[in-house]
Structure 1
Amino acid sequence: MELRQLRYVVSVAETGHFTRAAERCHVVQSALSHQIAKLERELGARLFDRTRRQVRLTAAGEAFVPAARQALDAAARARAEVAAVTGEVRGRLALGAIGTVTAVDLAALLADFHARYPDVRIALRSGASLELIAEVRAGGLDAAFLGVPSGFRPTGVRHRRLAVGELVAVLGPANPLAGRPVAALRDLAAEAFVDFPAGSAARAQSDEAFAAAGIDRDVAFEVSSVEFLGQLVGTGLGVGLVPADFATQLSGVRVLPLSDAPARVEHLVWGQGPASPATAAFLTVLDSHHRETGAR
């Protein structure tokens, strides 16, 4: 079994197509097909069901691909470790982030890291905090930026608190409350809310605050992005709660501070095992940026 064979199988699984997989791997299709067939003979099982229109993983393929990805990741990690000994940092850095990171300027941080370590390939995806924690725990991500309620503690990962802030209310310009200098959660009880999906860490920040105050509320609209939340609020369909440092980035809404505002904590989480050279370098660059901005 060779690493190139594993790479070919993973590429076919991800593209669903032998030709596109061959293009991705920079080989001719016949060579890729030959190596996969050779691997299948060695394993004694077919990895793909092939038809004219599609390529699908067999049950054996479904079992094989995750292990193949782990082997490829381990090989890449080994190469990166050797390079680090010689003073080079290379490899891949897979990051996750919520859409409302305020503790650092994430774009500037990534640009600085890329300038310092151009041989590291950065991958970034956005998502919900709980999903990102699970991916870091499983090894799919090297590190992730989260926004969670103040009492939340990430488990199964290492973590660092980056910032503590508060949520503010955002309202449509025509909302009668929009002219107030400050309000309380109880003043919003009669409003329809735009919020994140139930069960998410972003939603829990608001749910826990209203529950602690003994206030029922109506979440009429569930959204997956803060930008869409701002659009719905701007039309007057409802009100929302967003991080105070992020609220000014939303257009067409009015910001209303709250006297009993829910607290919000931003964390960085990363795996419990030894950090890869790229991850260790990223943590160092993050430290310098965090010191410049100052912990809030």
Structure 2
Amino acid sequence: MKLDQLRSFEAVARLGHFTRAAQELFLAQPSLSRQIAALEAEAGTELFRRAPAGVTLTAAGEVLLPIARRMLADASAAREQLDELAGLRQGSVRLGAPPTLCVSLVADVLAAYRSAHPGIELHITEGGSRSLVAAMDEGALDLALVVTRGEQRTPPATQLVPLLSEELVVISSAAAGEGERRELTLAQLANMPQVAFSRSYDLRVATDAAFAAAGLTPTIAVEGAEMDAVLRFVERGIGVAVVPAMVVIDRPGLRSTLLVRPQLSRTVNLARRTDVGLSAAARAMERIVFETVDRVAAPGTELARRVDVASRA
């Protein structure tokens, strides 16, 4: 199986359409079709079900897809290893993170990385922690920042390195005055109008579970919002929201109040594969992630009282 055939196969599988895959790969559609036909001939079976509206994977295609992605990732890793000879003047890093980290820690990480290595292309994927771990296992990501609470299963070749433990806080509009309280119990929070995240968010799952365990029903003002919208709605005084402590840093329009009885927290981890070596560019990203965590949560900073940095000794 040739890499260009696997690359074409992966694009068609992901996009569900030959024309869109050809456009993405800058190929003429007949050339793409020939590559897929050659791959199917080598596999001895059809990989796609063709229909006027697009294509779907056959059972054989479902089996081949994760293998193809790993093979493409390994080839990319080999190219990245060769990029080391260029002294980090070229190459790329693919980093995944949940939206709650993209608006806080990840922004600082990328700024530091871009300053140190301006020639490296940075590719960011936002998503839930489980989907990011799955994407990394398939070779679609080099590293991922993921959130855990308690024990969490990961693929055998995935390692989670704890970075920090972070409190969840209740945010409110700085103009509304709700943030003048020092603490809020979960029962008090349940009676306040809330701006609730989309149910695809790890954070929404955690808060819903806390309310259910306490036998409480939250008061929802707005439901289904994404991170940027939640922050904007809260700033406008539409309701309050539960977010990680890091989200509030450098946001003067928001106030935060500690959530107690129960106090909720989460662990932020760096996820990496153990069966594939990191490129020089990815190793530099890993190092900058560690340095950024140590810097933003250093003693004396605004965040230090609500974040515990994990020991990496």
Partner of 1:46: 46
Partner of 1:98: 98
Percentage identity across paired residues of the two chains: 30
Partner of 2:56: 57
Would the aligned equivalents of 1:158 and 1:270 in 2 still touch at CA under 8 Å? yes
Amino acid at match of 1:191: M
Partner of 1:273: 275
Partner of 2:307: none
Paired residues in the alignment total 290
Would the aligned equivalents of 1:97 and 1:144 in 2 still touch at CA under 8 Å? yes
Which structure: larger Rg?
1
Measured after TM superposition, the shift of residue 124 of structure 1 is: 1.0
CA distance in structure 2 between the partners assigned to 1:73 and 1:127 by the alignment: 19
Amino acid at match of 2:228: E
1:223 partner SS = strand
Q: Which runs of 5+ in 1 are unaligned?
A: none
Measured after TM superposition, the shift of residue 283 of structure 1 is: 1.0
In structure 2, do the counterparts of structure 1 residues 133 and 222 end up closer, same or farther at CA, with 3 Å as the change threshold? farther
Amino acid at match of 1:55: G
Measured after TM superposition, the shift of residue 246 of structure 1 is: 1.9
In structure 2, do the counterparts of structure 1 residues 155 and 137 end up closer, same or farther at CA, with 3 Å as the change threshold? farther
Amino acid at match of 1:263: S
Amino acid at match of 1:30: P
Partner of 2:30: 30
Amino acid at match of 1:165: E
Partner of 2:81: 81
Partner of 1:202: 203
RMSD: 3.8
Q: 2:230 aligned with 1:226, yes or no? A: no
In structure 2, do the counterparts of structure 1 residues 293 and 20 end up closer, same or farther at CA, with 3 Å as the change threshold? same
CA distance in structure 2 between the partners assigned to 1:102 and 1:36 by the alignment: 37
Measured after TM superposition, the shift of residue 204 of structure 1 is: 5.4
1:273 partner SS = coil
1:276 partner SS = coil
Q: TM-score, normalised by structure 2?
A: 0.72
CA distance in structure 1 between the partners assigned to 2:225 and 2:49 by the alignment: 35
Q: Which runs of 5+ in 2 are unaligned?
A: 299-303, 305-313
CA distance in structure 2 between the partners assigned to 1:252 and 1:115 by the alignment: 28
Partner of 1:109: 109
Would the aligned equivalents of 1:172 and 1:236 in 2 still touch at CA under 8 Å? yes
**Correspondences of 1:252-263 after superposition (within 5 Å):** 254-258=255-259, 261-263=263-265
Q: TM-score, normalised by structure 1?
A: 0.75
Would the aligned equivalents of 1:144 and 1:268 in 2 still touch at CA under 8 Å? yes
Measured after TM superposition, the shift of residue 75 of structure 1 is: 1.8
Q: Which moved more, 1:217-226 or 1:248-257?
A: 248-257
